[in-house]
Structure 1
């Protein structure tokens, strides 16, 4: 099992604070134990070590489990020590504690940068991240930082471990490390978990922690909600705040435009735009880009091009992002010549051409199945020192697979590490594993999976789902259960459809008892005392 701890429920006191529009539930510092004044780690006061691999049924009501999913959008190169730690944690032996494994890592001193790197690498497993943090704070050189707390909080938020998050918030407050960004992280995780009321109460409860809320904070809240696909609730909050006397600025309207644009809701985009004009605001380059991107998403490419001309007429200078939107939009509809025209315009605009714009051109070549040109263009990226990156290769891999050129995709995948800064990320592995699963080549899927684990990369929920469903499809239920249990051991909550499908297959094959065991393990996760 990835990690297990006993959490003492009575150490947290949840205090209700009156807040509009509803009550804000937060844990407060109300620890009565006199030993709490000692420098002993706050987290260690809540956690007691168990041996890894302990059957979950033995501590259904006292253990915490959790993990998280991350698309690894950021490409960065961890230090050697960070890689050592992550590899050890990703291959934890049964019946071993995190402390004992990391004590043998050979790492002599823990720096704030090392802690942050490891936490980022472990963002696919919140419990491993929590266990590492608990170990690290006892090591030489450890320092509490806002950044490391935030990384841990974001990791735990992805698995809805909100009670533990509020314990960490109290710890940050006591150390003077709380920031507005920390609350933005929590709001985002509540919003993505569809706990909208909790997200709103977290925003309004910031003042209980001595943080003053201003108009820029409301814009950040609206932005967080919109990017978490809660634009209707964001708009409702926007209207409520206006009724309270809040005066929205251009950015406030732009955020709502983007929220509805991402949902491809052009009717609401037009409504917000009309209200924006009534308030005396005109479209700036950011708002133009948002509306153009919305048109591209629904296939109205010509309308997006018309808006580009409108920008020129009104003297609004296009940004690199504007060109990127048009290149992506035109390229996706195989209008390669026009996409390349706007790329040349972007180079002549006076801006330094950035990696996303080059990636858009790579994607445009791929949409037109001109892969040789895409690879030649990567050579140009190298000459101008704007890439490539793992993201560049992910674009090519997706298109190769879509074009039925799986063998070529796998060959490109194998060579990625030869290109500096282009080591496969978790998203890259997901692309290749999903490809082999869809083709029924499960031996190859397992090979890539093992390669990923050997690099210390923790798989996410969707990768587990692909493996479980694929083995189930060929009636290899023992293998499907193995990955299902590994998923639970990492603390990743299985999607309901994945479990119901596996349960049905097990019952149909006379393995009702196995299905019941898996059910109990899932229930144990839900009953974990730190689960929010």
Structure 2
């Protein structure tokens, strides 16, 4: 059917390379790799010349759909018979292997790229730095940074941010702060993500006073704070069981311009109060969230409903379960069975049965979009 439509488009003069890119992307997302490759190769059958940019587009689509092994196979096959890859081709592959955390293949492609005469650029360095940091290979990331500097490349704000975040998370605070100072003199204007990375680094070492000091510095520089800044601090306060301080900070958010709580913020707070068995406060936060028009996700519903079951507050648990069904979220099996078991244990089999029927009805409803 799709190719019949493509034929019609050709007859009407509407066909172009974007059409084939769209078809390939849809197939790749549906895990139909062979069909995606076929769509790319069929371009020639419709009078369109295949070029390196089209090949790069194909491997980018496959990589972003996490079919990296298949992408590598296509890359190896195509380069032997028709395309000479450029640095963009190698960069796409590097990013793909980085996303699936296959450092062996990443290093192999990197060596191959250099053997082919392509020197890494800032984008390449950024991809590899990000991968090394995710794999906690921070010394390798720092060595790469030094190599980049020795070649007079100007590190991007993203590279600084990645290094500060990674080193900070490992409590290598002094090293993280050195990169922050380097970022300040690098010639780029201060950015909120970099400052947020520093806030996170201080929080990981529980130097909250310094974290708040950086927030004040953000204000003076006119780059924040933002909701993400607050979420970072709240996460660490909750982790340290500093509940009152976290709630006090949460209450200040709305009065700080550009810092309205997001669904992520509300989830942090609801989970915090659930963990300390303050269901009254968890439900109060939930009501505030709804009043702001923020929609909760499945995990947030699960946290609240499971905690209400644990506290034997079954009427409230049923109320939020019904709310979950009403917005069309299919409840996870474990949470559903937890609620049904709690209801049955309390002799409320009828209520449990009604909810089971509602779940079945929702499951039979076709997904839209």
TM-score range, shorter chain: 0.7 to 0.9
Higher RCO, Cα 8 Å, sep 6+: 1
Q: How much does 1:201 deviate?
A: 5.1
Instruction: Pick the aligned partner of 1:448 from 281, 285, 307.
Output: 285
**Per-residue CA shift, 1:250-288, capped at 9, x if unaligned?**
233323323332443322222332343344433221221
Instruction: Pick the aligned partner of 1:197 from 12, 17, 32.
Output: 32
User: Gapped runs of 5+ residues in structure 2?
Assistant: 9-13
Distance in 1 (alpha carbons) for counterparts of 2:238 and 2:324: 26
User: Gapped runs of 5+ residues in structure 1?
Assistant: 1-14, 19-25, 30-175
Change (3 A) 1:234 1:336: same
| Residues 27, 33 of structure 2: 8 Å contact kept | no
Quote the residue 1:470 is aligned against.
Answer: 307
Quote the residue 1:311 is aligned against.
Answer: 148
**Per-residue CA shift, 1:163-187, capped at 9, x if unaligned?**
xxxxxxxxxxxxx9xx969x87995
Q: How much does 1:316 deviate?
A: 2.6
Change (3 A) 1:456 1:382: same
Instruction: Pick the aligned partner of 1:323 from 157, 160, 163.
Output: 160
| Residues 188, 224 of structure 1: 8 Å contact kept | no
| Residues 188, 225 of structure 1: 8 Å contact kept | no
Q: Secondary structure at the match of 2:225?
A: coil
| Residues 381, 387 of structure 1: 8 Å contact kept | yes
| Residues 28, 62 of structure 2: 8 Å contact kept | no
Q: State how 1:240-389 maps to structure 2 within 5 Å.
A: 245=82, 247-389=84-226
Distance in 1 (alpha carbons) for counterparts of 2:202 and 2:27: 36
**Per-residue CA shift, 1:455-475, capped at 9, x if unaligned?**
111111111111122112223
Q: Which has the higher helix share?
A: 2
Q: How much does 1:453 deviate?
A: 0.3
Distance in 2 (alpha carbons) for counterparts of 1:401 and 1:186: 45
Change (3 A) 1:202 1:509: farther
Change (3 A) 1:522 1:238: farther
**Per-residue CA shift, 1:198-239, capped at 9, x if unaligned?**
9965994998xx9x8975566566556655655445545655
TM-score by length of 2: 0.82
Deviates most, 519-528 or 477-486: 519-528
TM-score by length of 1: 0.59
Distance in 2 (alpha carbons) for counterparts of 1:17 and 1:227: 24
Q: What is the CA RMSD across the aligned residues, in angstroms?
A: 3.9
